[in-house]
Structure 1
Amino acid sequence: MRIARWTRGDTVHEGFVIGDGVVSFPRGLTVADVLAAGLAALPALAAEAEGDAAASAVPLAEVRLLAPLVPASVRDFVAFEEHVEGVTASIDGKSHVADEWYEFPTFYFTNPHSIIATGDELRPPTTERLDFELEVGAVIGGVAGSDGRDLSPAEAARHIFGYTIFNDWSARDIQGREMKVRLGPAKGKDFGTTLGPWIVTADEFDGLVDDEGFLPIVMEVFVNGERIGRDLLSNMGWPFGDLIAYASRDSRVVPGDVLGSGTAGNGGCLAELWGRAGELTPLPLTAGDEVVMRVEGIGEIRNVVGRARPVPEIPAARRRPRARERA
């Protein structure tokens, strides 16, 4: 099943994508309601909606898709070894994967308030190294009897409601500068993340998941019609169950959380290719470039890069006397 949010006129609707049309959830339910109820409640809801589909369906061509959910939080992992190899070469001049990468799946929190949808124009910051990142996001749903804390990998996998395409837009020059302070990424990332075009429920992939929990679906990214990268999601170092279990350790995952796979290898972002080439080839993204991502079994997202807008200046740090008492 596919779950979406969309506008028609000035009204926001939330519901199912059925064939080439959309049908609102019954009883005014929202995506957040459906995620909280979890996958187990979905078949009955879908049967209820399909009963009205013939009369109430609206063609997809007549609506504007929104991001398929308003995330409770967004965690983004770095789970593809090949991506790490290329990006470290771009930053440090040589390819290297730290020993610590293999020990546990590292992530950072990104901005849930900067989510954009397929078809939206990206507003970038002022940057000379704008990049995309090809990822898949796992969307968390409710599971009866679980509060989402300290999950085992097997328990965590049962919390996956579905999957969506995830583009973690990145300003590499800003990211590199701020991470020298041993924090971040922050402003190099939080200006935009595309989620979409919808959520495809996890049961749609049951026949593809291997014995270790990996999902071998094809991921591709194109810039202005030219394919830049192609990889399999199963090249992650950990399956999503492991990522979710780590996120829940001494913490909690809740319905509506989104966890990114991290960037695919083999051209999943430009920075990887810059590191391997030793130069900015292909060129960084600029205004007017169109980025299209396609993931097998999920669909396609596309965005055009807009122009940076002026922002207020913030002064550099003021030198302070390091006094310990008020004068």
Structure 2
Amino acid sequence: MERATLERIIDDLEAGRTPALATGDFPAFSAEAAAGNPHVGPEALDAIAASLTAADIPTFQRALRALDEGDLAWLGFKVVFDPAAAVGNVDNEVTKKYGEQGSADGEPLVFFCNDAKEIVAAREPSPRDVFQMKDVTRGPSMHNEQFDGLTWVSVPLFDQVRVVLLGASDAAAEVAALADHVGFVVTAVDYDPAYLNEDRFPAAERVLLHGGNFDELANLPGHPGDYVCVLTRGHMFDPEACVWAVQNGAHYIGMMGCAGKNSTVHDLVIDAGLTEADWDRIKRPIGLKFGAKTPAELAIAIVAELVDVRYRARYGEEARARHEASLGR
């Protein structure tokens, strides 16, 4: 989310204008993201824009402050497609009771919610609304389609984590698709366009190296927040990939491979100037351990680990303990 986008919306509302909300700024409403869902799409975003008034200014101002402060926060959207059903449906015997009222009203709504569960909105939500509003802290997740007549989507007000795939192997292609699906920004790097192409990596930024090797990798800028997966084809350029990841201070580095191969990579990276402490920073083998063998299975193991690393980076030990306790774990 760009600061200028929020400022423009606030300016429009202060001037009594209907702001233009673009799917580029609110990608949850893009045709790609909404594929197969008739209730969410560019038309729904236009309807929400048309519903905004000066009363919504504090919501966007709170979002602007969260953006400036680096708060873990979201702009959420209540999308109504059947007003009577949205207001009238009630909980059944399985779900927790939130009173005899469904949604507070049958109108669309933009709201702010952060990880501390602070909610800012132009209108008073019902207890049922609050239950679903808080769920944006999970994406939104399980409850966005639970009740008839409405659904909920959200846009994060913080940067997504970048996953850098060094190598365009079959496993990397599977990781790219799954990592994109769970909210990572993916960059894939290789030297061979037969492997690094749009068909195999449609949602990733693709960086094509020249010279038939990974020598140009040294010129690629890395960031301390990156999660790096070393997945070069045949492990041929794993040493160069590990050196690049360590030298750029990546938050997470994981490498695929067996103990024998990794021992060879160890010797090569030490010869290249890394220390034993640098080597110990590299998770090997990459991914959670549950018997994965095929590229698709390996991708599940790898992305599951990336999700866990992201979770631990965003939430302290106390917050994680509360979350686990709430799930009965």
- If the TM-score is normalised by the length of the shorter chain, which range does it land in? under 0.3
**Between Structure 1 and Structure 2, which shows a larger proportion of helix residues?**
2
Give TM-score, length-normalised by structure 1: 0.21
The structure number with the bigger radius of gyration is: 2
TM-score by length of 2: 0.21
